[in-house]
Each structure stands twice: as C-alpha cells, then as structure tokens.
Amino acid sequence: MKNRLKKMYYVLMLSLCMSVNSYAEYDEELAASVGADDYGMKSYVMVLLVTGDKTVEDKAERDKAFAGHFANMSQLAEEKKLVVAGPFVEARPKRGLFIFNTDSLETAETWVKTDPAVKAGIFNYELYKIYSSAALMLVNEQHKKLQKTAM
C-alpha cells in the first residue's frame, strides 16, 4: 500500500510539473500586439545595404543624402515599418541593414526605395525574408528610452 501511495504521489507530482507551463510569462495581449505566432516569432524582410554604384564627390550633396537617410529611417520607424537598422563596422562593401515589418519582398522594396541614399545610388540593396522573434517589434520603443543624444 505504501509503495502504491508513493507511486501515485510521484505520478501526481510529475503530472503537476508537466502541467505547469514553462512559458508561464506568456502575455497573450503583448504577443497579439506585435504579431507573434505561437512560437513568439514572425516574418520580416531584411535589407542588406551595400555600397552603391555612384560615388557622390560633392560633400554637401553627400551630407544631404545621409541626412535624408537618417530622417527616412526615423520616419519608417515611427510608422512601425522599420524594426531594426544599423551600420556594419569594417565590412565593406556591406554597409548596413534594415529589418522591415513585412513578409513581402515587394513592400520592403517599396520602403527601401524611399531612402535618399538609395535614390542617390550611394547604396544598393539585397532583400531576404527572415523569421525571427516578434520581440524585435519592441526595439524602437525601448531604444527611445536609451537614446540620450540625437543622431
């Protein structure tokens, strides 16, 4: 009888342990707000910016294109289209990346073509579909809390 009770106790404890979701912190509302699937993931398009065909020699013209590049990134981020962006360090001809909040290569291409540095031929681009954490959607919101100086 004691052995049977012990076995029942262990089975019960094992069942309880297995029924406790290891994803106890799951937030259904947050997951829905960022478009997460059941794995906490979603599809995006990554844009790889590479050195373009055009070299802009005029400093004022180049500065204007890069000022527009940064302003465009800010606008796309505010519109929740641009999820993550950043330059590559010491990786030429690769220059940087964008991760766009879309699973459509066509939509991403439309958005990247709004970039003044792309329009000027300073950057060319390559598009890739990726599947990554939906938490990337929270980066811009959190970044605002960390950025002390404007770029």
Helices (H) and strands (E) in the chain, counts: 6, 4
Q: Is residue 28 part of a domain?
A: no
Q: Is residue 107 part of a domain?
A: yes
CA proximity to 82, closest of 143, 41, 36, 40: 143
The model carries a pTM of 0.81
pLDDT attached to residue 150: 78
Write down the residue that tokens 């997951």 correspond to: 31
Q: Is residue 9 part of a domain?
A: no
- Domain hosting residue 82, numbered range: 37-146
Q: What is the pLDDT of residues 35-48, one digit of tens each?
A: 999 999 999 999 99
Lowest mean pLDDT among 14-23, 68-77, 102-111, 123-132: 14-23
The alpha carbon dihedral of 70, 74, 79, 84 has a sign of positive
Q: Mean pLDDT over all residues of the chain?
A: 87
Angle at Cα 38 formed by Cα 102 and Cα 19, nearest 5°?
165
Q: Is residue 19 part of a domain?
A: no
Is the model more confident about 5 or about 70?
A: 70
Rounded CA-CA distance 127/46 in Å is: 6
Q: What is the CATH number of the domain that holds 115?
A: 3.30.70.1060
Q: Is residue 5 part of a domain?
A: no
Residue 1 has pLDDT above 70, yes or no: no
Q: Is residue 12 part of a domain?
A: no
Structural domain tally of the chain? 1
Q: Is residue 20 part of a domain?
A: no
DSSP conformation class of 27: -
Q: What is the pLDDT of residues 46-81, one digit of tens each?
A: 999 999 999 888 999 999 999 999 999 999 999 999
Burial string for 23-40 (b: 16+ CB within 10 Å, else e) reads eeeeeeeebeebebeeee
Residue 83 has pLDDT above 80, yes or no: yes
Q: Is residue 53 part of a domain?
A: yes
